[in-house]
Amino acid sequence: MLEKDIQEVEIEIEELAIQLSDMLNAALFFAGVKKENLKEAVDAYLDAIDEVFEEDDDGEMGLDEIITLINHIRDVKPQLFNS
């Protein structure tokens, strides 16, 4: 029974990760990233977490932090965005 429960939780986590990835892509798209640049923008977003919040270890990413990261990407990689 425990093994089945673990498998169900793993599947749920995987599904949530996919949804979160889709939501990040949508957020970047609506922030102005060109559709063909979404993969590069997601990579830049993940890199920006360390660049922008290198000393912040609490791990909490709320709305303000996400906006800060997207603005950072706009500043360092403006070519990813629509003009």
Residue 32 CB contacts under 8 Å (≥ 6 apart), including other chains? 74, 81, 82
d(CA 76, CA 29): 17
What are the residue ranges spanned by the domains of the chain? 2-80
Task: Tell me what the mean pLDDT of segment 21-26 comes to.
Answer: 97
The whole-model pTM stands at 0.85
Q: What is the pLDDT of residues 24-81, one digit of tens each?
A: 999 999 999 999 999 999 999 999 999 998 765 566 889 999 999 999 999 999 999 9
Task: Tell me what the mean pLDDT of segment 16-30 comes to.
Answer: 97
Helices (H), the chain: 2-30, 38-52, 63-76
